[in-house]
Every structure is written in C-alpha cells, then in structure tokens.
Amino acid sequence: MIRKYGKRLASGLLAASLVVVAGCNSIGGVDVNKALTNTVKVKSSESSTNIAIQLIPSASATDAQKAALELVGNMSIQLSGKKEDEKNASYAGELKTHRGAVPFQVYIDGEKTAIEVDGAKKPITFNLGQILLKSLIKESGENPSIVQTLLPTISGPIMEKSSELLPLLVDYIVGNAKVNPKTLTVTAVTEKVQEESLSLNKLHTEVSGTEAAELIQKLVVSIAADEAGLQKFLGGVYDVVAPELLKDKKLNPLIKTVLENKETAVKFLSGTVKGLINGAVVQLNNSLKESKMFTDQMYIKADMYLDSDLLTRKTAIEAMIPIAKGADKGLSAIKVTATSESWNLNKPVKADKLKGSGPTLEIGGNGWGKLLNASKIISNFDKKSIAYKLLREDLQLTKKRIQMIMDKLAGKDPGKSGKPYIKDGITLVPVRFISENLDAEVEWDGKLKQVTIIDDLSEAKIVLTIGSKTALVNGKSEQLEVAAIITGESTYVPVRFIAEKLGAKVGWDDSTRTVSIERD
C-alpha cells in the first residue's frame, strides 16, 4: 500500500522542502535566507529526528481496506545522528511498525555509506555520490556511457566537498525566492534542546497545496531565467571541485583541457545545466498541471527555531497529502509529521564506525541498469525477520505486474520491432525484458551461446543455450517448449517457462490478446 503511494509521498515531502525556500525573504528582522544557508554550512553536530507516517482511510473505505491501512499505515522512525565532519557521520535508528521494531545503523565514511539492519545477512553498502549523480543524469536523458566514464572521477570530489557545494546551491536557489508564503511569522520563544533552555526565533509558515504549486512555479521560473546566478553558482562549483579533479593524473585529456580554463569550463557546463533546468521546468509545470495532489486539501505547516547565529536548532513539519478520488482504494490522505533538534553544532563530535570487514551487499553498482534492485535487497534478509516480512508482505516491494499486448504485428515481424511474438503457439519475449522486469540478472556467454538468468529472490539459476530445447535450472535439465533463439538483436525465450521459474504466474486474455505476468 505504501509502495503504491510512495511517489505521492515523496512529491509531497519535496514540495514541503521547496516551499520552505520558495519565498522566505527577511522577516521580523530575521534573514531567513541566511539561516537556510547557515544550516547547510554546519560541519559537525549531533541530532535527533522523529518521523511518523499515517495513512488516513476515506469515508467510503471498506472494513477490509481499513484493516489493511491500519496494518501498514502507522509507521515511525526514530533517529539519532552524529556528524563528525563532511566525510564522516553515523546514525542509529529504529523503525517502528505493527510487526514490531526494526533497529538499524547507518555509517557514512567518505563516499561509502553502509547500513546495518536487524535481520540482514550482511550490511548493505553503496556509493551515495554515484547513485545521486546517476539518478540525476539518467532523468535528464544524458548519454549514460559518457557519465559512466566521468562518475568515478567526479563523485569523490563532489561528496568530499559537499559542505562547500551545498551552500552554493542553497544560495543559488534562495537568491531566486522572490515571494513569501502568505502565512509567515517570526516569534521570540524559549525552547529546550537536549534539556538546555535556549532563546530562539520561531519561524512559522503554513501553505496550502494550491499556494505551494504557485510558489514552486515562481521559484523554478526565476531560477531558469537567472543566467547570472547560474554562472556564479557554476563558478563556485569550479573553484571547489576543479582543483581536486586536476590532481588526478589519470584524468581524461579532453576533460583536463576543458577544466584548465575556468571560463571555458563554466561556459561548457552552463549550456548543459541550462538545458537540464529548462527541461526540469517543463516537466515540473506539466506535473503540477496534471497532479491532483496540489489542492486546498493539501497543506504544509513548518516551524524552524533559529538561534542568535541563525542556526537551526529545532524543526517541526506537518504535511497532509491528499489522494485523488478514483485512485484512493480506500485511502483518503497521507499525513507526515517530523520533528528534529540539533546540538553541539560545529563542536567536536565523533561518529561511530562500521565494525568488522566482512562481506557486504553492494547496491547501485557500476552498470547502467536499475540502481536499486528490490529483490536483491530483500533476499539479503532472513525470511523470518520482521524486516523481510515488512518489505515483502506489507510494502510488497517485489510485487510485479507486467502486461504485453500481442498486436497485429505479433509473429509477422519476429524480433525486428523488439516486441514479443508468437511462434508455434508459444509466446516468446526478449530475455532481458522478462528477466530484468522481475529483478533478475542476465549474463551472456558468446562463446557457448548461452544465456544465464540469476534471480536472488527465487534462488533460481537458469541456463539456456541458443537453439537447444534443454535448459538447466539450478543444475537440473528441463525441457523447453521452444528453444531460445536470436532474432534481430535480441535473444528470445518462452515467456511462461522463464516467468514461472522466477516465481511468477502467467495469464492470457484472448479477448484483448494480452499476456499478463504477476509475482508477489
């Protein structure tokens, strides 16, 4: 249930973040923009955070829908953090669910992030910088092969200098915040942070979904038109990152030539980034027009508590994200509340470290496939653990539903269109299509003319030889209805055999000529 509405939840939380900066100019003698910039300049601190997610049933929800929402609809996360510097941090947390609590720890050590979760067979590790950059460039439509070459070079310096780069980004964004939210107040208050009473300024804002959409649109339009601000931002990025990149003796000669001249580098980057921004503006405007979320039923309430140095010491956010009728399935809205407080800002703090040097599950990888493979992650957990049951049964992260319509061309242009087709009454599909849509990995051995499919979730390993009706499934021979064949530029395999060996069910609707594949 939560998985289904994850994008709406993420969009709502992103909106809450953007609203905070979309129009917060100086008010009541408090320079809000400076406060936002100061927050990301903090080099070390300790913190505590509490996040709660509530799924609110609609008035028309059935008893069964209410029961399902109650099971997965009340979750909370408690998190204690230690930020040692821009490279090292650790967080100890606990996810509370109807099944019980799931303790976890997060360790950030340079570019590497490691997560230990109760019930996991081994820690999960990933390169956060590369994953973020991959996601950004992939969404922009840039050439993955070029990015693959650059990622190892640029991700390190970017993550290492994040404490210097984030203020530049915030300055660029808040510099384009021209309009304040209608409700924005500052009040002097006394609040406790870790039992210490502090004199703080409470910045309070309330924004409806309709107003949030207007503020975000004005912000992104201003950013897109701000060429001088973009040049300044990229110039600052160059000053921070370029010296580090130029130290690399293995740096691509072409990249080195561009980076050796700041004006040339900034001009080159400016054109690329400008294109990304303009594309993002168009996508955002289209999303806001199509979205049924940004209505007056949506609201965001946020409180920031600032000290005399304009550093954020406490926050409290409440967001209500409505679900459009017709897509609700008994759900009326998602409510998120979050509170946090920080202390020991810019003082000596020691982060915890991951103990031991045993094997880890590395995700993100170097390939340009899926950045996060849900099945691979879930298979890393003990099947009896709370985390496994939560991820697979409640959040249904491995649930798949694939539909393929066999149109008039099916069987008439086998392989040429890359679409599924029917041969001798058997539906054939590209092996990568069926395998990767079910989170399995595909390997090709050109010498042996063999395709190997490996699925961590079902623990199946399938070996197919081109032209042979005999397949090996976990080392045992089984017969295929039709041999795997190479047609056009794709390797085609019988869909039912592969899907069922990967734990899925295959159906056929003759009236619509549709093949359906489902897996829980």
Model pLDDT, residue 19: 52
DSSP string, 422-434: EETTEEEEEHHHH
How far, CA to CA in Å, does 275 sit from each of 137, 145, 149? 12, 19, 21
Q: What is the mean pLDDT of each run of 10 residues along the chain (520 residues)?
A: 47 50 63 81 94 88 82 86 93 94 94 92 82 58 49 63 78 81 91 94 91 85 89 88 82 82 87 80 77 84 93 94 72 92 96 88 61 82 94 86 72 56 82 87 90 91 93 93 84 90 88 85
φ/ψ (deg, to 5) at 147: -65, -40
- The span from the CA of 307 to the CA of 203, in Å, is 11
| pTM score, whole prediction | 0.79
Whole-number pLDDT of residue 106: 96
Three-state secondary-structure class, residue 40 = helix
The pLDDT value given to residue 142? 47
Q: How far apart are the first and last CA of the chain?
A: 13
> Phi first, then psi: what are they for 508, rounded to 5°?
-135, 125
Q: 3-class SS at 426? A: strand
Tokens of 27: 């008010």
pLDDT digits (tens, 9 = 90+) for 265-292: 888 888 878 887 887 788 777 777 777 7
pLDDT at residue 486, rounded to an integer: 86
Nearest to 502 by CA among 443, 458, 441: 458
pLDDT at 380: 92
Tell the residue number behind the tokens 């999960």, with chain if given: 124
Please give the structure tokens belonging to residue 386: 């709370």
What is each CA distance from 140 to 178, 222, 371, 394, in whole angstroms?
27, 20, 15, 33
Res 409: pLDDT: 53
Specify which residues 462 forms β-bridges with. 453, 473
How many whole angstroms separate alpha carbon 204 and alpha carbon 181? 10
Q: What kind and span of H or E run contains 236?
A: helix 227-246
Residues 32/203, Cβ–Cβ less than 8 Å: yes
- How many Å apart are CA 520 and CA 507, to the nearest integer? 15
Please tell me the predicted confidence (pLDDT) of residue 1: 46
pLDDT, tens only, 146-178:
445 555 566 666 666 777 777 888 888 888 877
Structural contact between residues 242 and 264, judged by C-beta atoms closer than 8 angstroms: no
SS3 state at 71: helix
β-bridge mates for residue 338, sequence order: 51, 317
Distance CA 90, CA 116 (A): 11
For 475-517, the pLDDT digits (tens) are 999 999 889 888 877 888 898 999 999 999 988 888 887 888 8
**Closest CA relative to residue 126, chosen from 145, 144, 106, 141:** 106
DSSP 394: I
Measured CA angle at 502 (ends 501, 506), to 5 deg? 80
Residue 130 is predicted with a pLDDT of 65
Instruction: State how far the Cα of 439 lies from the Cα of 362, in Å rounded to an integer.
Output: 15
Query: H or E element: which one contains 326?
Result: none
Please say whether the beta carbons of 441 and 457 come within 8 A.
Answer: no
How many Å apart are CA 15 and CA 9, to the nearest integer?
10
DSSP label of 121: S
- What does the pLDDT read at residue 248? 79
DSSP E strand boundaries for 100-195: 100-109, 112-117, 124-127, 183-193
- d(Cα 262, Cα 119) in Å, to the nearest integer? 50
Token readout for 308 is 């005399």
